[in-house]
Amino acid sequence: MFTFRYANYLDIYAVSLIIAMIIDTEQVRKVANLARLSLTEAEEQQFTTQLSGILAYVQQLDEIDTKDVPPTTRAIEVSNITRTDTLEVFPEREAILESAPDREEDFFKVPKIMADSE
């Protein structure tokens, strides 16, 4: 595995050219084929360079000590702002059923959405 330190974007670009052997044009062609993409030679070269740059950046991130950082799914804290569900009895059940477009006895009647399996 390669280890690099970068000072700026130009250094990352230079290193991506050095690491070009990690992602070669043949691998880009294979991925494009799997994705059913038709790429020109210029696009193959462009993606080879760009993917190498991404891998070079990931390599830089690999150098960061994260052993004391707890795993997370988000970069920022997210909290649920909805209220908790509470069961409430509505005393006018008949009024609710009468406001429905269609009903059958004490139930709402809704359009069928699934076919019967035979």
Residue 45 forms part of a structural domain: yes
Residue 82 forms part of a structural domain: no
d(CA 11, CA 8): 5
What is the full per-residue pLDDT of the chain (118 aa) written as tens digits?
A: 444 444 455 555 555 555 545 789 999 999 999 999 999 999 999 999 999 888 888 888 888 888 898 888 888 887 877 888 888 888 888 888 888 899 998 898 988 888 776 5
**Cβ pair 98, 107 in contact under 8 A:** no
HEC assignment per residue over 42-109: HHHHHHHHHHHHHHHHHHHHHCCCCCCCCCCCCCCCCCCCCCCCCCCCCCCHHHHHHCCCCEECCEEC
d(CA 78, CA 111): 37
> What's the pLDDT at 2?
44
**Cβ pair 102, 109 in contact under 8 A:** yes
Residue 93 forms part of a structural domain: no
> What's the pLDDT at 25?
93
Please count the structural domains in the chain: 1
> What's the pLDDT at 45?
94
> What's the pLDDT at 20?
45
Domain extent at residue 50: 9-62
Q: Looking at residue 116, what DSSP letter applies?
A: P
> What's the pLDDT at 76?
83
CATH number at residue 46: 1.10.20
Residue 37 forms part of a structural domain: yes
Residue 36 forms part of a structural domain: yes
> What's the pLDDT at 75?
80
